[in-house]
Amino acid sequence: MSLLKFDNLSVEVEGKEVLNNFNLEINEGETHVLLGPNASGKSTLLYALLGFPKYNVKQGKIIFKDKDITDIDIEERAKQGIAAVYQNPPSINIKLSNLLEKISKKNVKIEGIESLMQRNVNIGFSGGERKFSEVIQVISMDPDFIILDELDAGLDVENLERLSLLIKKQLSDKTVLLITHRGKALNYFEPDFAHVMMDGEITCTSDNYKKIWKLIEENGYEKCKTCKLSSDR
């Protein structure tokens, strides 16, 4: 059953068109990865999905749980069950433990984060601490759809593995979109479908993420503009 669908979505940012007739459908329980170089439109897609006002939808629809959410505000989208682990989350002058009390739909018990819980969110946090803080918040919200934005950015292999396993354990039944231009997180999540985004549109899709990543490693992203890989989807 379809959970999220981008239907001919075109998005402008400060008067510049970044996404042009973008289409993608994600079913319940699936994990998808959206790969692409910097400035390919991945972040624009993320922020348009979340409803940031700067990202102006000029055409098309975003359908979530069979409802058109294209014009609803950020808070309402969160209530509908969409959450994101951001690449560069803001600092907030509130203790993480207090924030979780306000947003939690379920209790989260994770060993080894007691000191982090007593600190103000992202103030003085290392890159790894920011990512753990973001993941803990998303887990506590118990969303139906999770976007992981550049989860592997700034993390060493040990922390990436720990975070990935934490997400898979706590959110094993959820639908996930992993956005990245690296390949480090792929083997932890083993996505059902992999897509390559170039110049604001998907140019390559496969139900074998290893094939796509091998193509990128050997030839770079430019090769994906003429990609012949495809899935049965």
User: For 116-148, how does the pLDDT look when each residue is reduced to its tens digit (9 = 90+)?
Assistant: 999 999 999 988 889 989 999 999 999 999 999
pLDDT value of position 95: 95
User: For 51-88, how does the pLDDT look when each residue is reduced to its tens digit (9 = 90+)?
Assistant: 999 999 999 999 999 999 999 999 999 999 999 998 88
**C-alpha 178: how far from chain center:** 5
| Between 106 and 142, the higher pLDDT residue | 142
**pLDDT band per the 50, 70, 90 thresholds, residue 228:** low
| Window from 19-28, 76-85, 215-224 with minimum mean pLDDT | 215-224
pTM for the complete prediction? 0.91
Domain ranges in the chain? Answer: 2-226
User: For 157-167, how does the pLDDT look when each residue is reduced to its tens digit (9 = 90+)?
Assistant: 888 998 999 89
Write the CATH number of the domain with boundaries 2-226.
3.40.50.300
**pLDDT at residue 233 is higher than 60:** no
